[in-house]
């Protein structure tokens, strides 16, 4: 099982910032397994951008950008930040890896994630103008996520501001501080749900950071023979 999870985490990294400090984030890498140890049939990372993507510094603070609400009105993302621990999911409209991650989140045992109370979902659609019908089509896939905040990014404002390292991209925040983020995955996203749940449940910032980092490290540790 450990090997399966480690293989699924190929290419996965987590950055954990030092709380409200402006110091450089702690970067933890999961070492890829050899080709012979990797699972076949893993989902490819769906990158939002190309070029020197992975050389960018991770964000420390939630940037300002506008997105369209379900009522068709635009609002700045700052309007939806929460004082407690919360999650921002950036995804594309038609994106199989995005659907897999969101399905795992929707099946969470954590009520705040399953119902969406701690979740803000930004959907980058394929249109050049706002059309909340496309947003409704994505929402319809996840019936348990009844109280999440759904936003449409038809003009690419969120993309430019967040500079995601892939899609889906899940950000863990405390207020407007981005504490860690996970880019698009190559495999079973259940480990991300565990990390997300640990983040939302923890009232202590340091403990939540440690739990998130440990989840990746533990998953990458081979099982004893």
pLDDT of residue 219: 59
pLDDT digits (tens, 9 = 90+) for 71-86: 989 999 999 999 889 9
- 2-30+80-220 is classed CATH 3.40.630.10: no
The pLDDT of residue 130: 59
pTM for the whole structure: 0.72
Beta strand segments in 119-209, E: 119-124, 149-152, 169-174, 177-182
Per-residue pLDDT reduced to its tens digit, 152-187: 998 899 999 999 988 999 999 999 999 888 876 555
The 10s digit of each residue's pLDDT in 105-125 is 999 999 999 999 999 999 997
Nearest to 25 by CA among 66, 2, 56: 56
pLDDT at 195 over 90: no
Chain mean pLDDT for the chain: 73
If residue 85 lies in a helix (H) or strand (E), which one and from where to where?
A: strand 85-92
The domains of the chain are located at 2-30+80-220
Three-state DSSP at 124 gives strand
What is the pLDDT confidence band of residue 136, given thresholds at 50, 70 and 90? confident
């Amino acid at each position: 099982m450990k090997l399966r999870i480690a293989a699924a985490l190929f290419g996965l990294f987590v950055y954990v910032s030092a709380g409200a400090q402006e110091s450089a984030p702690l970067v933890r890498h999961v070492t890829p397994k050899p080709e012979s140890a990797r699972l076949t049939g893993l989902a490819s990372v769906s990158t939002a951008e190309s070029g020197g993507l992975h050389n960018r510094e991770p964000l420390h603070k939630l940037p300002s950008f506008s997105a369209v609400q379900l009522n068709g009105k635009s609002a700045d993302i700052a309007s939806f930040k929460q004082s407690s621990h919360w999650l921002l999911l950036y995804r594309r409209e038609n994106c199989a890896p995005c659907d897999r991650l969101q399905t795992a989140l929707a099946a969470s045992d954590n009520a705040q994630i399953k119902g969406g109370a701690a979740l803000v979902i930004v959907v980058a659609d394929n249109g050049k103008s706002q059309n909340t019908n496309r947003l409704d089509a994505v929402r319809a896939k996840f019936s348990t996520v009844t109280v999440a905040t759904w936003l449409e990014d038809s003009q690419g404002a969120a993309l430019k501001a967040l500079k995601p390292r892939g899609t889906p991209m899940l950000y863990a925040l405390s207020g407007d501080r981005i504490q860690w983020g996970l880019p698009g995955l190559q495999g079973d996203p259940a480990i991300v749900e565990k990390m997300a749940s640990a983040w939302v449940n923890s009232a202590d910032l340091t403990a939540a950071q440690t739990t998130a980092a440990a989840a990746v490290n533990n998953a990458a540790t081979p099982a004893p023979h």
